[in-house]
Amino acid sequence: MEQCACVERELDKVLQKFLTYGQHCERSLEELLHYVGQLRAELASAGGWPPLQVPCDSLPEDMGDPKLLSDRVPEGR
């Protein structure tokens, strides 16, 4: 019975690591999206460059409106 408890504790540790890693990846991807949005806005405001177009079908559904990406750029970037 003690062996089962040990395996369960180890499983909990592994699951927690995967959960933490998933959250970290999600935050990192959101930060990258924000940064890319800021760069897009900067390029568009520089003039002489056509606005970048991203096909909507290539974006994840839960990402939201690609036009609003520049609104999601973290401060200080």
Q: Can you tell me the distance from the alpha carbon of 16 to that of 35, in angstroms, rounded to the nearest whole number?
A: 29
Tell me the pTM: 0.51
Is position 52 within any domain?
A: yes
Is position 77 within any domain?
A: no
Band of the pLDDT at 30, cuts 50, 70, 90?
very high
Mean pLDDT over 9-31 rounds to: 97
Give how far Cα 53 sits from Cα of 19, 36, 63, Å: 34, 13, 16
Range of the domain at 55: 2-72
Considering its fold, how many domains does the chain have in total? 1
Mean pLDDT over 38-63 rounds to: 70
Is position 38 within any domain?
A: yes
Residue 67 near residue 32 (C-beta atoms within 8 A)? no
Residue 23 above 70 pLDDT?
Answer: yes
Band of the pLDDT at 47, cuts 50, 70, 90?
confident
